[in-house]
Chains A and B, each alone.
Chain A
Amino acid sequence: MGRLIVRRLLLIIPSLLLLSAVVFLMLGVVPGDPGRVKLGPYAPASAVAQYDHSIGYDRPILVRYGTWLGGFVTLHWGTSWNLNVPVFSLTMQRLWNSIQLALVALLIVVPLAIVLGVIAALRRDGAADRVITVSSLSLTVVPEFVSGVVITVLFVVFLKVFHYPPIPPPGADPFTRIYYLLLPAIPLMFVEIGYIARMARAGMIEALSMPYIRTATLSGLPRRRVVFGHALRNAMAPTVAVIGTQIGWLVGGLVIVETLFVYPGIGYLIYQSAIYKDFPVLEATVIVVAVIYMLSNLSADVIVALLNPRVRFGR
Chain B
Amino acid sequence: MTSDTPFQREYADHLISEILGGRMTRRQLLVRASVVGLSATLVGQVLAACGSSSPSSTTSPSTAPKAGGTLKVTMPSPTVTVDPTTMYDTGSIAIAQQVAEYLIWVNNDLSLRPVLAKSWSPNSDATVWTFNLQQGVKFQDGKPFSADDVVFTMNILLNPKTVSAALASFQGILSQGGVQKVDANTVAFHLDTPFADFPYFVASTNYDCLILPTTYKAGTWQSKPVGTGPFKMTKFTPKQGATFVKNPTYWQTGKPYLDGVNVQFIDETQAEALALQSGSSDVMLTTPVQGAQALFTDANLKVLTTPSTQSRFLHMRVDTAPFTNKAVRQALAYTIDRPAVIANLFNGKAQIGNDNVFCPLYPLAPTTIPQRAQDIAKAKQLLASAGFPNGVTMNLTVEEFEEVPQYATLLQAMAKPAGINLKLNQVTVTYYYGSGKNQPWLQVPMGITDWTFRGVPSQYFLPAFTSNGVWNSSHFKNPAFDAAAKGYDTTLDEAKRRQYAATMAGILTDETPSIISYWINVNRAMKKNVNGLTSDPAEFLDLTTTYLS
- A interface residue numbers (CB < 8 A to B): 31-33, 35-45, 47-51, 80, 82-85, 90, 152, 156-157, 160, 162-165, 167, 259-262, 264, 269, 272, 276-277
Q: Does B431 contact A (CB under 8 A)?
A: yes
Min CB gap B186→A, angstroms: 32
> B268 in the interface, Cβ–Cβ < 8 Å?
yes
Stretch of B175-183, B276-284, B515-523 that contacts chain A: B276-284
Chain B residues with Cβ below 8 Å from A259 are 268
Within 8 A of A (CB), among B155-183: 160, 163, 165, 168
- 21 residue pairs of the A-B complex, CB under 8 angstroms, read A31-B428, A32-B431, A37-B430, A40-B89, A41-B429, A42-B471, A43-B163, A44-B163, A45-B439, A82-B80, A84-B81, A156-B274, A156-B278, A157-B294, A163-B278, A164-B271, A164-B275, A165-B264, A165-B280, A167-B240, A277-B430
CB <8 Å contact, B280 and A33:
no
Q: Are A262 and B430 in contact (CB under 8 A)?
A: no
**Chain B, interface SS category:** loop
Quick one: which of B203-225 are within 8 Å of A by CB? 222
> Which residue of the partner chain B has the closest CB to A38?
B80
Q: Return the chain B residue nearest A39 by Cβ.
A: B163
Q: Residue B280 contacts which of A35, A36, A38, A164 (CB distance < 8 angstroms)?
A: A164
How far, in whole Å, are A51 and B89 apart by their CA atoms in the complex?
Answer: 18
Main SS class of interface, A: loop
Q: Report if B55 contacts A (CB, 8 A).
A: no
Which 3 pairs across A and B sit closest by C-beta, in order of nearness?
A: A32-B430, A40-B88, A164-B278
The reply to whether A35 and B435 form a contact with Cβ atoms under 8 Å apart is yes
Q: Given contacts A31-B430, A35-B435, A84-B222, could you give 20 more A-B pairs where the C-beta distance is less than 8 Å?
A: A32-B428, A32-B434, A36-B435, A37-B80, A37-B430, A41-B433, A42-B165, A44-B163, A44-B470, A45-B437, A49-B436, A82-B79, A82-B80, A156-B274, A156-B278, A157-B278, A163-B279, A165-B274, A261-B271, A276-B79
Q: Is the CB of A152 within 8 A of B274?
A: yes
- Known A43-B165, A47-B163; contact A37-B274, beta-carbon cutoff 8 A: no
Residues of chain B lying within 8 A (CB to CB) of residue A157: 274, 277-278, 294
* Residue in contact with A156 in the complex, picked from B240, B277, B471, CB distance below 8 Å: B277
CB distance from B481 to the nearest CB of A (A): 22
Is A164 a contact partner of B268 (Cβ separation < 8 A)?
A: no
Q: In the complex, which of the residues B79, B238, B436 contacts A85, with contact meaning CB atoms closer than 8 Å?
A: B238
B 397-419 binary contact with A (CB < 8 Å = 1; else 0): 00000000000000000000000
Q: Does B150 contact A (CB under 8 A)?
A: no
- B residues within 8 A CB of A165? 264, 266, 271, 274-275, 280
Distance, CA A260 to CA B433, complexed state (A): 27
- For B82, the closest partner residue in chain A by CB is A84
For B167, the closest partner residue in chain A by CB is A44
Most A CB within 10 A of own CB, among B81, B238, B274, B435? B435
A160, B279: Cβ atoms closer than 8 Å: yes
State A278–B191 Cα separation when bound (angstroms).
39
Q: Of all chain A residues, which has the CB nearest B223?
A: A84
Residues A40 and B278 in contact, CB atoms below 8 Å apart: no
B 358-404 contacts with A by CB, 8 A: none
| Residues B428 and A45 in contact, CB atoms below 8 Å apart | no
Contacts of B86 in A (CB 8 A): 39
A188 to B4, CA, bound (A): 69
Contacts of B430 in A (CB 8 A): 31-32, 36-37, 277
Q: Which residues of B contact A37 (CB under 8 A)?
A: 79-80, 430
Tell me the B272-309 residues at the A interface (CB within 8 Å). 274-275, 277-280, 294
Chain B proximity of A301: nearest CB distance (Å) = 36
**Across the interface, which residues of A come within 8 angstroms of B434, CB to CB?**
31-32, 36
- What is the CB-to-nearest-CB distance from B270 to chain A, in angstroms, rounded to a whole number? 9
Chain A residue with Cβ nearest B160: A47
Contact A42 B168 (CB under 8 A): yes
Minimal Cβ-Cβ distance residue in B for A262: B271
Q: Does B493 contact A (CB under 8 A)?
A: no
A264 to B430, CA, bound (A): 24
> Are A162 and B278 closer than 8 Å at their CB atoms?
yes
Q: Which residues of B contact A84 (CB under 8 A)?
A: 80-81, 222, 238
B267 at the interface (CB under 8 A from A): yes
Q: Distance (Å) between the CB of A287 and the closest chain B CB? A: 20
